[in-house]
Structure 1
Amino acid sequence: MAVTSMWKRQVAVALLAAALLGGCSEPKPGALHAVPDETAERVSAFVTSYKQDMVAAVNDHELAQLEADYLLPNTSFFHALQRYGEELQKNGSTKELVSFEVENVYEDDKEGDYFADVIEQVHIITDDQVDDITRNVRYWVVEGADQSLRLYTIIDRTNESD
C-alpha cells in the first residue's frame, strides 16, 4: 500500500514538473544567433541565480519573491511553478540542485529575446527516496525597458534532437 502511494506521489510530481517545463504552447523563437560574451555572462548569471533561488523558494514554500525578482508578473509559468511547489510540499518532498551548466546563450533575431541552453540535474527527495532528474532545458528570457531580465518560460528539450 505504501509503495503504491509513493508511486502515485512521484507520478504527480513528475507530471507537474513536465507541465511546468513545457510551458503553455509558447510560440517558437525566430532565428537564433550567439550573443557577445558580456551578454552571455549576464544571462547565464541571471538563470543560474534564478535556479538557485527557485530551489530555495520551493523548499521554503516562499515563491512570491521569485515573481518579484525573476518572472513576468501573473503569468501561466508562475502559476505552474506555484502548483509544482504545492505538490512538492503536499508530498513532503524537497528539491536539491546537483548541477547547473549553461552551455550556450542566444538571441532571437526577430524579438531580441534571449535563450539559455542548460543541462540541469536535481534530486527530488521524498522520505528516503531520491529521484535523480537530469534535463536539457532552454530558458526563455526577456529584457524589459529598464534593462532588467525576466524569465518568460522554460522549455524542456531533453527529448529533442538538434
Structure 2
Amino acid sequence: MSGLTRGSAWRVRWWGAAIALSLICSGTMAGVWIGRQHRAPPSDECAVVEQLSHEWLAIVSFNNRLDSDLRGGDRAVEVADAERAMSAKLRAAADAVSSASLKDLLRQWADGAKLGADSRRTSNGMPTQSSDVLRNYVQAAVTVYNATAALRKLCPNMAPPPEN
C-alpha cells in the first residue's frame, strides 16, 4: 500500500464492501424474479385453462367428425366460427390471469385458433388448397399444439390432446 494513506485505504475497502453488497443484492433480486417466473400458476387460473381446454376439445371433436363427413361446406363455417369465438375467449382469459407464463401461452393459443379459423374460412369450398392456406393451417396447428403442450405442463389437469 505504498501510495495509499490510511484514509484512502479505508475508502477502497468501503467501496469494495459496497460493490460486494450491491452484487449480492442484485443476485438475490434476480433469483427472486426468476423464481416468480417459474412457479406454478394459481390453481384458480389453472381451472380457467382446464375449462378452456375442454371447450377446445369439443371444437376439435366436431372438426374431426366434419372431416369424415363429405358435406363440409356450412359445417366448416361453423367450425371456423367456433374457433374464432374460442380465440376471443382465450384472449379474454389471457387478460384475466396474473401468471405471466399463462398469459403468454394463452395468447399464443388464441393466435393459433384465429389463424386456424381464418385459414378454414379461406379454404371453404375450394377444390384445391393454395400453398398459403395450407401453410397458415399448418402454422395454426403447430402454434396451438405448442401452446397447449406448454400449458399442460403448468396445468396438468387440462383435457388430454385429441386422439387421431
TM-score w.r.t. structure 1 length? Answer: 0.35
TM-score w.r.t. structure 2 length? Answer: 0.35
- Structure with the higher strand share, 1 or 2: 1
Larger radius of gyration: 2
- Structure with the higher helix share, 1 or 2: 2
